[in-house]
């Protein structure tokens, strides 16, 4: 299984592109594909982005923040969370004003669609319970290789 956000070896790159290892080496020599770096053992490593360029895929992943409060009385805190997340470097902040027990929040659904489609590089939360109170749900999402959790 090829991991997202990792550098790929020549063999993994060849497997991903359905070509042989010598073909990858030949493409790298002719500069059709760029190696990201070499390891201490002088092994080539290729980034997912260089493979996307080769395939002509313009697919950028973004850093997304998620802010939620439970009631209208806490709306000021929602703005504070959103500003904090933007200051942390989020490309987009998704907000919800609803109970943590409600799994049908518009923002949460939008966030889950982004996660499933692989468009998120990092998910940043201000608190671990911002998604849902169901902590097992958070742990399930956490196992997804596509997300780096940053909690305040």
Catalytic residue list: 70
Closest CA to 152 of 122, 123, 127: 127
> What distances in angstroms separate CA 88 from CA 20, 67, 91, 124, one per listed residue?
42, 13, 10, 9
> What distances in angstroms separate CA 141 from CA 90, 93, 100, 116, one per listed residue?
19, 18, 16, 10
Task: Provide the 10 A C-beta neighbour count for residue 146.
Answer: 19
* Euclidean distance between CA atoms 152 and 136, whole angstroms: 19
Q: Do 91 and 141 meet the contact criterion of CB atoms below 8 Å apart? A: no
User: Which residues, including other chains, have CB under 8 Å from residue 91's CB and lie 6 or more apart?
Assistant: 62, 63, 64
């Amino acid at each position: 299984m090829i991991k997202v956000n990792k550098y790929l070896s020549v063999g993994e790159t060849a497997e991903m592109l359905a070509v042989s290892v010598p073909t990858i080496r030949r493409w790298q020599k002719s500069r059709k594909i760029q190696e990201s770096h070499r390891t201490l053992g002088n092994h080539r490593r290729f980034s997912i982005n260089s493979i996307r360029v080769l395939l002509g895929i313009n697919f950028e992943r973004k850093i997304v923040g998620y802010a939620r409060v439970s009631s209208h009385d806490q709306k000021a805190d929602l703005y504070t969370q959103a500003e904090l997340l933007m200051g942390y470097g989020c490309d987009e902040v998704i907000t919800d004003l609803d109970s943590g027990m409600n799994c049908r929040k518009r923002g949460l659904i939008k966030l889950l669609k982004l996660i499933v489609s692989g468009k998120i590089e990092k998910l940043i939360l201000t608190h671990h319970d911002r998604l849902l109170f169901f902590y097992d749900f958070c742990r399930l999402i956490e196992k997804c290789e596509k997300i780096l959790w940053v909690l305040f």
